[in-house]
Every structure is written in C-alpha cells, then in structure tokens.
Structure 1
C-alpha cells in the first residue's frame, strides 16, 4: 500500500485524502460532502479514501489518531490537515487556497 500511496500523493494535482473508518458516524456524513467537492472541482483534484482499519501503516505514518481526518497533499507535501467534518464550501476554499490550482 505504501508505495502506491506515495505515488498517489506525489501528483502535481492536489490530492485530498480522507482517512475514515467504516464504524465512524461523522465519516459517513463526510462522504457525500466530499462527493460534492469532487463534482464541484472536477479534474482539479483527486480525492481518495483510506480506511484506517485496513491501512494502519499509512494512518500511523501520518499520525492519524481520529477519524475522519482529511489531509491535502500536492507533489508529496502535506499542505493542510483537519480532523472532523467540514462543510463543502470550507473544504473547497482550503483546496483552492493551499494548492496552486
């Protein structure tokens, strides 16, 4: 998983990673919000979901202790991170401000 994860986040395009767990209520709320973000930004962003229970190595590498945690990467660098659920507009604003899109 790790090398493919590294390949994903080393993209020129910003990548928003949603660390989630299947048992987490707020994570379920965030799913549809992230779908709207993707619909809104289209090809300007990649959004991937990482199940922390199935990918504990990646979760611990990025010190994800609570879910949901979103981390924005571009060119392999972490630009921003936030735990908890944010609204669509706030997420889009952060992506546009932090990445050079």
Structure 2
C-alpha cells in the first residue's frame, strides 16, 4: 500500500477509489458479486447508498442500465460505474394461505 500510495504516484487514484467507496456506503462486509463471464475482473458491490460496477483489465463493453461512469484510469485498465442512488427500501407482506402451523411451529420465507 505504501509504495502504491507514495512511491509509484498512484495516491490520487487510491483517494478517488476510497471516495467512491465511501460515497456509495460500501463497507468491508458489503455484498460483492463477481461476474465470471467476462475476461479480467468484473464485480458489482452493493453499498447502503449506491451500487458500484468495477472492471479491471476486463472486456466489459455493455454497461447495465442505471449505471453512470465514475472512473476511468490507468489507460482505462481500471474502470468504475455507479448507480445514481441506492434503491429505496421496500416493505413486503407475505400471506401464506396453505399453512396451519401448530404450537411451537413457524412458517418462514427464505430467499
């Protein structure tokens, strides 16, 4: 980290990546999903305020709807897109008409 930040002149890039992460509300335990159907490394990361799409040395040519350019660096080897805002929280009510749990039993929705 020290050489990247101070010796190799990548401090501005690292600060920009940190800012993107913080602005999106991404934490160490935020969900990340790797997109294995691309060459290189492509992943979506869900933060509390935004989602990020990160591509490192990847052939990603079509960007999913809702993402806007956030960073193109290192001769476009490092690219990032962000959503405009995080999706709104929603409330879902489930009704199960076919279950009659007895004492000590419960019905759960999993998924």
TM-score (norm 1): 0.31
**Greater share of residues in helix:** 1
TM-score (norm 2): 0.29
Return the index of the structure with the highest Cα Rg: 2
